[in-house]
Structure 1
Amino acid sequence: MKQLVIIPFLFFIIFSSYAINDRGSKDSLIHIAVNKKIDNYYELYRFFEKGRFDREEIDLLLEESKKNEYKLGEVYAYNLLGRSYRNNSFFDKSIENHLKALELARKINDVNAEIVTLNQIGVVYRRQDKVRSALNYHQMALELADKIERPDIDTKISISISNNSIGNIYLALKQYQLALEKFKKSILIQSRTGDKRGLAINHQNIGLAFQNLGEIDAALEHYNKSLEYNIQNNSSIGKVICHTSISNVLLLQGKYKEAYEYINEIVPLSEKIGNQYYTSEVYVTLGNVQLKLDSLDKAEKYLNEGLTIAKKHKIPSGINQSNLYLSELYEKKKDYKKAYTFYKKSIEGERKTFNDKNISYVNNLINKYDNEVSKNKIKGLAKENEIAKLKLLRNRNVLIIALVSIALLGVLLYSMYRQRLLNNDKKILKLEQEALRIQMNPHFVFNALNSIKLYVINNEQKNAVHYLNKFSKLIRSILESSSVKEVTLSEELKTMNLYMSIENIRFSNEINYIEKVDPSVNIERIKIPPLILQPFLENSIWHGLSSKKGEKEVTLSVNKISDEFIQIDIIDNGIGRDAALKIRKNKSLNRKSIGIDLTKERLQNFANEYKNNFSLVYSDVIDEKGNTSGTKVTLKIPII
């Protein structure tokens, strides 16, 4: 009996001695680092052999660094404090300490320390779903790292961390393809540098992207790769994350018992680590597993524990997920009042988070286009300046050649002048067209984005994504068309279809746009000037249909009327030309439309290269009672 008592006592003494020796070893390293004053942040990180610091050791490092005026040591200590608070989900405290580290890093002008600290701050904001702040800090870190001309391995790892974190932000925004692009950039660097920890994180994130895209097998493959790297690294937190993710995938596959084995195995490890963010996630996942296994009491216990932690530490994703599963739980218990209450909380929380993120995302997109507008305005001014110079040059040449012609009666010189004048006029016309396009695009882009933004604000997510995709295709088509002289009729019709879809948003999709193409017309081979049909469609909408009540329709038909011509008819059922003219006259501000005039000049330039000319005819559509019921534009274009 005495022996049984002595054995645990001896074990306690040995363990205590080991702990004291380990603490003494770490304390000794701290004193050496402070006295040595290691001047490279990454070298300081490696000096401590990536070891974990407890709170007393962090305080010792901070105290000794301050005492010896070792600023880099202070930066390192504040970042350790911030990370410690983050792992325990005390996010405000974490940010406070990381900001102290950032201020010191900038004060001593240590770029490496600044990059690491910016990434750390971004991670904390990302944990709280504060997308804009997270994105700003990771972007600052990335910009700093990109300015280094010859980045070493440590800097490349920091770049991969920034890309990985931005990818995680895209995950939160449900932009999974964009997230995968960032993860692939990050994993490429980690593979080259042999960064196993980074590879473990990236495979985990890629798995999550594939899971959300519905590619379950690919997700499971990457989760298992991540688990392999975490086992090699002996990363406890990594094992917890991977087991949770694999368990969720198994739930999706209906393998509830296997899911239970995976998640139940790491519950004690998660509780031991004490990271409240992941502990909440583990409890919620375990509760969901028990729910699927119909162990409702156990499910209720773990889901409530997960919800309590998420609320305490302000983890929106944990709160929303817990509420959703609790709704399902109480539905199974036939307590429909509670089920409805939790479901409502889940939907409201998810809607708030998702809407905030998407509005932020669209606003960011608008800001990018605003910057593009500013650039275009500068380009427009430069073009106008060039036009003015050409006009001055032309006028000067007129005077010189006129004087020379009078003095020498030089018919030859006059002919040369006329040729030069025509060339200048052609350049001026081309520049005026480019200047007009630059002026029109920003206005259209701004209105279109604002229309799409209304869908986001009204929580019409599918419509927002649908029209944002169409808008991006239209912008790409316009940009590509602006650099070429001719496009196929097929490409022009596709662009017009996109244009009508975007314009139709502002009419609450009331306009019915119809395209009719004669099968005998080979639209893939016929060439026309780019964006030549847009002004006529715009006139149909804004002069013919905007003031009309009731059904609105625009029909675009293409027919081959001979071997030498095709005919394009644009017919609207609007108010007609006379009524539209009266409305324009009654307006207080009348703006002269030069879009049609420029289109005619462009068609003339295009037709000059053919043996036949184009024709453009406007006519009224008359109904059976003899009343005007719309406008028809008939455009004949040469094809041979």
Structure 2
Amino acid sequence: KQALKVFDGLGDKRRYAISLGTIGIVYWMEHEIDSAIFYSEKALGIFEMINNDDGISSALFSLGRDYFEKGDFQLAESYYLQSLKVSKKTNSQKRITETYEALAKMYNKTDQNNKAYAYHVKYTVLKDSLLNEENNRQIAEMKARYELEKKDKQLNVLSQKNQVQKKSISRYNYLLVSILLIASLIAVITILLVRQSRLKTRHQTTELRQKLLRSQMNPHFIFNTLFSIQTYMLENDARSASHFLSKFAKLMRHILENSKHEFVTLENEIEFLNEYLFIQQLRFNESFKYKVVFNEGEEASQIMIPPMLSQAFVENAIDHGIRNIEREGFVKVRFSIKGENLIVTIKDNGVGFHHKKPGQHELKNHKSTGVENTRQRIQILANEHKSGHLFEIKDLSQEMPSKPGTIVTFAIPLIYA
């Protein structure tokens, strides 16, 4: 009955019906005939539903035997004959033999001697035939076993001969395998050394390229800043000039210190940008405002960034964006984290790089050395860390002419200290 629950839960109707029939047989053996009939009928119904002829034949035979035990010989005969019909259809010789025997006993019990004799003869003939088949099968098995043992002996003889031959060439094989292993090991070591050498060379090349780019950037920035200080000193009083020089000296110390390092903290970079923008603001008589923001400020001291990475774009925003506009200018530098990247955005409300005035060139045709070097630094950094590359310059006046300006956006790998 536990099996019934399992097969019912699995939806296995065939095994469920077999279990019902088995329970019926148990009740028949315990002479609880009504229960035996109940389970055999349920099994028959399911076998008929799934068109399982072997199951139908078995259930019909069980019902015939149940009703014979109960004394209802008419129903017993009916179920036996139905079982016999289905068994002949499936050619189940064992079931046919059992049914012949059962019919012979039933007809003998009901004094139908002719039918009893006829089915007993059929039972005897078929039983002898099956017995002969079983004997023939056993003889065939014994013959096959004998042939198999004979072949095994032959194989053992051949195996012994092979062992003798293997021993004669084993030393040669061991030597050959050893040579191959040593050669393979040498090849692997060579490949690893060559690969390591190439990686080291590639890293050194990348580092040298970045150092070269930084060395190109510093003179470019210093030249423009000194020119700004010179202009300011010629146009302002001594006190203001002294204040300007003090701020510039602090900025120069910042630049010289940062130039020694491949990476500085984002906190350091933000401080540098504020100093640089402050000097530029003084240079242009505070004709523009600026702002440097980082939303995740508490992490600024932990994030590493190449020094002066955004300075060239800030310089372009001032010199080629807001320098010649009549309204108050504005420059905003924004750092933000997105996934595994640090996003840098430089936005101004200047003329936009598609705007052109006499004596000016469009930004797309005026790629300063600083901007181009920075773009290359971003590309090298992305290649070194195998990250996605984002670099975009967008003219805001193309979308809204009443609010011109330029926005530069690029991404670098997020590197923590």
TM-score class, shorter: 0.3 to 0.5
Larger radius of gyration: 2
Normalising by structure 1, what TM-score? 0.31
Higher relative contact order (CA 8 A, sep 6+): 2
